[in-house]
Amino acid sequence: MSRSPSAWCVDHPVATLLLTFALVLLGLIAFPRLAIAPLPEAEFPTIQVSATLPGASPDTMASSVATPLEVQFSAIPGMTQMTSSSALGSSLLTLQFTLTKSIDTAAQEVQAAINTASGKLPSDMPSLPTWKKVNPADSPVLILSVSSASMPSTELSDYVETLLARQISQIDGVGQINITGQQRPAIRVQASPDKLAAIGLTLADIRLAIQQSSLNLAKGAIYGENSVSTLSTNDQLFHPEDYAQLIVSYKEGAPVQLRDIAKVVNGSENAYVQAWSGDTPGVNLVISRQPGANIVETVDRIQSELPRLQAMLPASVQVSVLTDRTKTIRASLHEVEVTLLIAILLVVAVMALFLRQLSATLIVSSVLGVSLVASFALMYLMGFSLNNLTLVAIVIAVGFVVDDAIVVVENIHRHLEAGLDKREAAIKGAGEIGFTVVSISFSLVAAFIPLLFMGGVVGRLFKEFALTATSTILISVVVSLTLAPTLAALFMRAPTHHAHAKPGFSERLLASYARNLRRALNHQRSMAAIFVITLVLAVVGYVFIPKGFFPVQDTGFVLGTSEAAADVSYPDMVAKHKALAEIVKDDPAVEAFSHSVGVTGSNQTIANGRFWIALKNRGDRDVSASQFIDRIRPKLAKVPGIVLYLRAGQDINLSSGPSRAQYQYVLKSNDGPTLNTWTQRLTEKLRANPAFRDLSNDLQLGGSITHISIDRQAAARFGLTATDVDQALYDAFGQRQINEFQTDINQYQVVLELDTQQRGKAESLNFFYLRSPLTNEMVPLSALAKVDPPTVGPLSISHDGMFPAANLSFNLAPGVALGDAVIMLNQAKNEIGMPTTIIGNFQGAAQAFQSSLASQPWLILAALVAVYIILGVLYESFVHPLTIISTLPSAGLGALIMLALMGQDFSIMALIGLVLLIGIVKKNGILMIDFALDAQRVRGLSAQEAIYEACVTRFRPIIMTTLAALLGAVPLMLGSGPGAELRQPLGIAVVGGLLVSQALTLFTTPVIYLYLEKFFHRPTPTPALATPH
């Protein structure tokens, strides 16, 4: 006769204990090696491509730069989304790929596409487009502030770029560094149109003279018989005074130097940019990680390099950490660890209350500790990280793990009470209950199977959650059937009974249950009716409960995008931003912040700016990030002429570009003007709905455009063309980079423009001259073109999938679910009669929500089917799994009721809680049915007597295991620290489900068992894996 593994372990305690020690040792070795992250890696591979052509209009950038690139990019396989935004002088294209696409492969294909498109790009682009592996929508992982009390901003910017940014960009995990407020050093040539006209020169003459006088070409070498000498000349000019002495032309035999017709000064490439750390001007490094890089490890690497980099800078330059995203990540994980400890203590306390024996409590606690520690080893082998979801899986697994141990120890305890010695009780108790433990655990694991096959980003997120929980449960099965009986045989004592002792709490509870169970079995129709009502209410509740995606987290970080009038001047924008900054600085929840204006980083227009706000630690402020936004919004609205849109930074960001709010909706059409009209109508319609907050679109149509109408026939009479006019205008007003000079560490530009007094005046066009190639005389612009009155046009042009696009961004009012917002937005489109030629779809989190919403019922059904199949195989029955699954409707109803009472919508985390309930609650049915079947088969009891005895006998382990699972989830439900928003819905769903199911299934499940026995009356087969007991 073959012996069970439990019997072998009882007879070989040394081997069992040593193997257990080895398991614990592996877990302890693996734990410190686990990476730390806020969530499992589940981001779409994303690449951002940037292209610049200083002075080019948004329309020119969109048609001549963005479109040729989009044509080539559209042929890259595996690309799911392509968006572009073109503004004055720049285009940003964002390419998002499928989850299975290697970002390195995508980068190679993007570079190949850029090379292919280069022949169709404007020839005067300063450089080819560049790309970076970064998602511009992602929150920065670190913001560094660099300031100096004495150093000019251009020199400070040069240090930041050439030393700090380059060194940090080489650190593993760093994706992109936006240098906000950067004023790259440049030499600016500011020409006077009056002096040019008086001498008979044009800006083209200046441009040509500089390009021919300062260059850096190969010169060769002198190869002598005894040595080789490299040739070098002073062909490059490096200082303004050197350029000022250049001879541009001769007038009546006298040289005309550049200083005679222009000012040559040290300046910056772009004078219209500024950043602040708080209210102190400086330069900020906004550091983003590469998609897939571990945030904590990346920031740790950067932080370790900062002392070395600080030592390389001049003493007057100070580098400080403005915001560090990992602070909240570490705090959130610490909070989960505390939650885990509380859950363990609560579970152990429950075991002590019911078992009332120190040795039994310690045995179950040992199984719990071994299982949890050993799970770290499997997590390490599977490449998982310590993150909010894997740690929550371990917290929830506390209740599951002790289930197995409680069932084993309680059964051994029962045999000790019956008079068996410790060894026999351990072997018999573990052997009898082995099949039940396997049934409970395997059916619980079955509930996780559908999570492993979920598609998209949600499936990627919960793969680690499901596998962590599954591995912990499977370890607990092994440990419960090996270590628990071994320790019981060594240390567990037979309970002592006193003749006149009063019944304990558990005995009184059992007696009360037995009386009420008799009543329930005598009123089977009433119990069946309760079951049917519960089932109907659960279905109806699921249909009508508000549904959401992921809860909005409080990461302690808030991102802001400011928007002023499209024709705002740079000085006005700076003044408005400073006014916003004063309000932000005065809020007591703010720890630090930075902001910037001008074309810098991902900001493409002067009319927009950026804010990065770090809040104090959650315990040091009285509001969450969302509440902070609600509180400060009306104060910011008092600043005239500008709006600051704020959104709470999230650990998971599914957008493909910067957004002003949490959720995005994109409209596309092949007719740009029609798209603009209907976008504005939909925006106004939604703004009237109080459910939407911070609603805006990215159409900035009020930009001032000064149009110049060229008379081509008049121009031809002077031998001039439209190209000549465009080139002349570009020289004057485009901050044209006409030349560059190289040093050992960097390249710098020479910028040509009109002098500062003329550059900002439209009237200067009337005094603008070109040279006629036919007569060599100066021709005023007014002779061949007309300057029209200013009109309005777009500051930026967006494309989505090569179509003109408009992006709507919005937050939701407190208490409004994303599912309801989706319905209201679609209703608004219908009410305004939006034509079918305009295609709308959600992006980012809202798009993922729609996909997950469609799959939710199938996920629940798949979990039920998986559990049914596993139970059917184990019991070799089509009927008995139905009895066990009948415990689930009450759990679903309880979860929905508790979510509604707590003001929570049915989010993805709540859905996972419901799936967990499918695995947890059916345990009650298994414990009952397993015993009842054995009583009918072995002792010949009737179905009613068998199920009654099963319920009474297994009442204590049912109550203990349920309370263990319940108390394991309570800390998740009541948590209030960092990251609690993510954990609370899961804990609420589990607690609510267990409370209601425990109150009902102890009475409805026996009745369902009897009804199915009557309906499918047949001999009960022996369970497939069972040993009669």
pLDDT (0 to 100) of residue 853? 76
pLDDT (0 to 100) of residue 381? 92
Residues 278-324: tens digit of each pLDDT: 888 888 898 988 776 788 889 999 999 999 999 999 988 889 888 88
pLDDT (0 to 100) of residue 1? 43
Mean pLDDT of all residues in 743-751: 86
Termini Cα distance of the chain = 16
Asked if 78 and 107 count as a contact pair (C-beta separation under 8 A), the reply is no
Select from 837, 870, 902 the last residue of a domain: 837
CATH code of the domain covering residue 125:
3.30.70.1320
Residue 660 lies in a domain: no
Residue numbers of the domain that contains 102 = 46-184+271-326
How far is residue 1022's CA from residue 19's CA, in Å, rounded to a whole number? Answer: 34
Residue 371, token pair as written in the block: 């299982």
Residues 851-875: tens digit of each pLDDT: 777 777 888 888 888 888 888 887 7
Q: Of the segments 173-182, 232-241, 702-711, which one has the largest average pLDDT value?
A: 232-241
Q: Phi, psi (5° rounding) for residue 273?
A: -155, 145
Q: Bridge-partner residues for 566, per DSSP?
A: none
Residue 745 lies in a domain: yes
How far is residue 109's CA from residue 116's CA, in Å, rounded to a whole number? Answer: 11
Mean pLDDT of all residues in 785-799: 85
CATH code of the domain covering residue 696:
3.30.70
Percent of the chain residues past pLDDT 90, beyond the cut: 28
Residues 553-585: tens digit of each pLDDT: 888 889 899 999 888 888 999 999 999 999 999
Mean pLDDT of all residues in 752-774: 74
Q: Which of 1025, 815, 990, 1023 is nearest to 915 (CA)?
A: 990
Of 403 and 121, more confident: 121
DSSP 959: H
- Residue 767 confidence (pLDDT) above 70: no
Residue 1027 lies in a domain: no
pLDDT (0 to 100) of residue 601? 64
Q: At what angle do helices 505-522 and 955-974 cross, to 10 degrees?
A: 110
Quote the distance between the C-alpha of residue 132 and its chain's center.
19
pLDDT (0 to 100) of residue 760? 57
Q: pLDDT band at 994, cuts 50/70/90?
A: very high
Task: Report the phi/psi class of residue 111: left, alpha or beta, with left for phi > 0 and alpha for psi in -120 to 50.
Answer: alpha
Residue 322, token pair as written in the block: 């403005």
How far is residue 637's CA from residue 632's CA, in Å, rounded to a whole number? Answer: 9
* 814 and 684 within one domain: yes
Task: Report the phi/psi class of residue 979: left, alpha or beta, with left for phi > 0 and alpha for psi in -120 to 50.
Answer: left
Asked if 296 and 247 count as a contact pair (C-beta separation under 8 A), the reply is no
* 159 and 106 within one domain: yes
* 977 and 965 within one domain: yes
State the residue for tokens 């909706």. 665
* 388 and 297 within one domain: no
**Residue 795, amino acid:** L
How far is residue 96's CA from residue 244's CA, in Å, rounded to a whole number? Answer: 48
DSSP 854-899: HHHHHHHHHHHHHHHHHHHHHHT-SSHHHHHHTTHHHHHHHHHHHH
Percent of the chain residues past pLDDT 70, beyond the cut: 95
CATH code of the domain covering residue 251:
3.30.2090.10
Mean pLDDT of all residues in 758-764: 60
**Residue 136, amino acid:** P
CATH code of the domain covering residue 594:
3.30.70.1430
Mean pLDDT of all residues in 46-72: 90
pLDDT (0 to 100) of residue 256? 92
SS3 content of the chain, % helix, strand, coil (to 5): 55, 20, 25
Residues 183-227: tens digit of each pLDDT: 889 999 999 888 888 888 989 999 999 999 888 888 898 998 889
Residue 844 lies in a domain: no
* 433 and 405 within one domain: yes
* 351 and 296 within one domain: no
Query: By mean pLDDT, which of 66-80, 261-275, 529-543, 969-983 is the weakest?
Result: 969-983
Asked if 367 and 488 count as a contact pair (C-beta separation under 8 A), the reply is no
* 530 and 460 within one domain: yes
Q: pLDDT band at 136, cuts 50/70/90?
A: low
pLDDT (0 to 100) of residue 895? 94
* 939 and 925 within one domain: yes
Residue 843 lies in a domain: no
Residues 647-705: tens digit of each pLDDT: 888 877 777 667 788 888 999 998 888 999 999 999 999 999 999 988 988 888 877 78
Select from 287, 306, 326 the last residue of a domain: 326
- Residue 326 confidence (pLDDT) above 90: no
Residue 650, token pair as written in the block: 């999230």
Residues 656-667: tens digit of each pLDDT: 667 788 888 999
- Residue 1024 confidence (pLDDT) above 50: no
Residue 665 lies in a domain: no
* 591 and 455 within one domain: no
pLDDT (0 to 100) of residue 234? 87
* 1000 and 967 within one domain: yes
* 976 and 873 within one domain: yes
When computed from its CA atoms, the radius of gyration of the chain, rounded to whole angstroms, is 36
Structurally, the chain folds into a number of domains equal to 5
Residue 1026 lies in a domain: no
**Residue 709, amino acid:** S
Residue 842 lies in a domain: no
Counting Cα atoms < 13 Å in the Cβ hemisphere of 140 gives 28
Of 601 and 44, more confident: 44
Mean pLDDT of all residues in 375-385: 91
CATH code of the domain covering residue 352:
1.20.1640.10
Taking CA atoms, 812 is separated from 242, 588, 695, in Å, by 59, 24, 9
Mean pLDDT rounded to a whole number for the chain: 86
Q: pLDDT band at 716, cuts 50/70/90?
A: very high
Q: pLDDT band at 1023, cuts 50/70/90?
A: very low
How far is residue 882's CA from residue 170's CA, in Å, rounded to a whole number? Answer: 59
pLDDT (0 to 100) of residue 1028? 37
DSSP 619: G
pLDDT (0 to 100) of residue 764? 64
pLDDT (0 to 100) of residue 656? 66
Q: pLDDT band at 1021, cuts 50/70/90?
A: very low
Q: Phi, psi (5° rounding) for residue 328?
A: -70, -30
| Dihedral, 717, 721, 724, 725 alpha carbons, nearest 10 | 90
- Residue 947 confidence (pLDDT) above 80: yes
Q: At what angle do helices 955-974 and 980-1015 cross, to 10 degrees?
A: 150
The whole model's pTM is what?
Answer: 0.78
- Residue 69 confidence (pLDDT) above 90: yes
How far is residue 400's CA from residue 968's CA, in Å, rounded to a whole number? Answer: 9
* 733 and 635 within one domain: no
Asked if 624 and 209 count as a contact pair (C-beta separation under 8 A), the reply is no
The sheet with strand 185-191 has its strands ordered as 262-268, 185-191, 747-754, 736-742
DSSP 762: G
Q: Phi, psi (5° rounding) for residue 648?
A: -75, 130
